[in-house]
A and B are shown apart, each in its own frame.
Chain A
Amino acid sequence: KNQVEQSPQSLIILEGKNCTLQCNYTVSPFSNLRWYKQDTGRGPVSLTIMTFSENTKSNGRYTATLDADTKQSSLHITASQLSDSASYICVVSFSGGYNKLIFGAGTRLAVHP
């Protein structure tokens, strides 16, 4: 069964601290993996997208890693800010066309002052 699982379900950190979110997937055949940020009451916004051959990709303070062999990905947030409070969703795309996306349930991050 094609699934995307994320951990932890929720996380609270203090402003300025770093954190790492995890994603495991069983989607096959695999095309690419994305991380999205979803603010409350808003639609998801793309942070990174990685293909099979990419191990890491950064977008400002966000760095995503991908191990296609173990089917694991992580999203590392550096020097967190209050505005980082949101849900972070791992999304895996099927290979073979149609841009079909399988979403994880997300990790809800709260950054406290």
Chain B
Amino acid sequence: DTAVSQTPKYLVTQMGNDKSIKCEQNLGHDTMYWYKQDSKKFLKIMFSYNNKELIINETVPNRFSPKSPDKAHLNLHINSLELGDSAVYFCASSPTWGDGTEAFFGQGTRLTVV
């Protein structure tokens, strides 16, 4: 019954590695997002996709590459991981991309780079 699901929940990896986080939503929503929650607990948007098309890219390093094979999935691939990439990454979805639409969040993926 999980609406927005992310895998894995925890990810520990060494600097320089490449890793992916997967996200799936079964709500039939058109829009999906990736957010990063830093150590100060602020969530900041990274990417937004609407019907598989990129609509927001918030000056994220190009080591981060989202991929949306269909509108129910938005995966995040990270190349050459750095210590500063350690954070909790949240996937979210909303019915549309317009103002005021409700966003539903996954449970988060805690990434630790050592």
For residue B43, CB closer than 8 A to chain A, the reply is: yes
For residue B87, CB closer than 8 A to chain A, the reply is: no
Assembled-state Cα–Cα distance A103/B97 (Å): 17
Closest Cβ–Cβ distance, residue A29 to chain B (whole Å): 10
Assembled-state Cα–Cα distance A97/B100 (Å): 9
Q: Mark A39-68, 1 if CB is under 8 A from B, else 0.
A: 001111110010100000000000000000
Assembled-state Cα–Cα distance A81/B101 (Å): 29
Assembled-state Cα–Cα distance A55/B8 (Å): 40
Assembled-state Cα–Cα distance A42/B96 (Å): 23
Assembled-state Cα–Cα distance A73/B60 (Å): 30
For residue A89, CB closer than 8 A to chain B, the reply is: yes
Interface size class of B (residues with CB under 8 A): 20 to 34
For residue B1, CB closer than 8 A to chain A, the reply is: no
Given contacts A43-B106, A44-B105, A98-B56, contact A103 B99 (CB under 8 A): no
Candidate in A51, A96, A98 with the most chain B CB atoms within 10 angstroms: A98
For residue B98, CB closer than 8 A to chain A, the reply is: yes
Q: Give the number of residues in A that approach B within 8 Å (Cβ atoms).
A: 25
Using a CB-CB cutoff of 8 Å, which residues 60-113 of chain A contact chain B?
Answer: 87, 89, 93-101, 103-106
Candidate in B90, B97, B105, B107 with the most chain A CB atoms within 10 angstroms: B105
Assembled-state Cα–Cα distance A98/B48 (Å): 8
Q: Who on chain B is nearest to A45 by CB? A: B105
Residue contact A43 to B41, C-beta cutoff 8 Å = no
Residue contact B108 to A106, C-beta cutoff 8 Å = no
Give 18 A-B contacts (CB < 8 Å), ordered by A residue. A32-B99, A41-B107, A43-B4, A43-B106, A44-B90, A45-B105, A46-B102, A49-B102, A97-B98, A99-B48, A99-B97, A99-B100, A99-B101, A100-B48, A101-B43, A101-B45, A101-B103, A105-B40
